[in-house]
């Protein structure tokens, strides 16, 4: 396989809000068919295989992950989206469905997650 024939790969975990953010961007930008998506359900044999595939290339395996180019692996959803946005010449700020998710459900989920972490920390200190 050469860099000319390489198709980027995204590794997406079911029910992961960061993975959904990447998926929404790829679908709304029209890049879905230009990317190989390897999806898995947490706790399955498929997850174990994907983690084994990624572990030699990443300091810490987390999801979403992507192989953007031959030998170039990343794990941050914003970095993955920035790569594909630049490639497609698309501005995520102008993508309605993506923005509604990021500014709405995703933002609220992150706020609640942070609040939960603070409550757990306070409870363990008490």
Which domains are seen in the chain, by residue range? 9-90 (3.40.30.10)
Confidence category of residue 1, pLDDT binned at 50, 70, 90: low
The answer on pLDDT for 3 being more than 90 is: no
Q: Which residues contact 41 (CB under 8 A, 6 or more apart)?
A: 13, 14, 47
CA distances from 10 to 7, 51, 97 (A): 10, 13, 20
Residue pair 40/14 in contact (Cβ under 8 Å)? The answer is yes
pLDDT at 91: 96
Q: Which residues contact 101 (CB under 8 A, 6 or more apart)?
A: 20, 21, 24
Confidence category of residue 126, pLDDT binned at 50, 70, 90: confident
SS3 (DSSP) at 76: coil
The answer on pLDDT for 110 being more than 70 is: yes
SS3 (DSSP) at 50: helix
Residues 78-88, mean pLDDT to the nearest whole number: 96
Task: Identify which of 56, 46, 44 has the alpha carbon closest to the alpha carbon of residue 11.
Answer: 46
């Amino acid at each position: 396989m050469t860099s000319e024939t390489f198709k980027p790969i995204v590794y997406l975990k079911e029910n992961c809000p960061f993975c959904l953010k990447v998926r929404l961007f790829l679908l709304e930008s029209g890049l879905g068919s230009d990317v190989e998506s390897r999806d898995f359900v947490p706790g399955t044999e498929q997850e174990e295989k994907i983690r084994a595939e990624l572990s030699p290339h990443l300091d810490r395996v987390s999801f979403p992950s992507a192989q953007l180019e031959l030998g170039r692996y990343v794990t941050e959803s914003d970095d993955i989206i920035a790569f594909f946005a630049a490639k497609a010449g698309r501005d995520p700020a102008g993508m309605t469905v993506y923005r509604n998710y990021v500014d709405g459900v995703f933002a609220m989920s992150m706020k609640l997650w942070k609040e939960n972490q603070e409550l757990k920390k306070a409870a363990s200190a008490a």
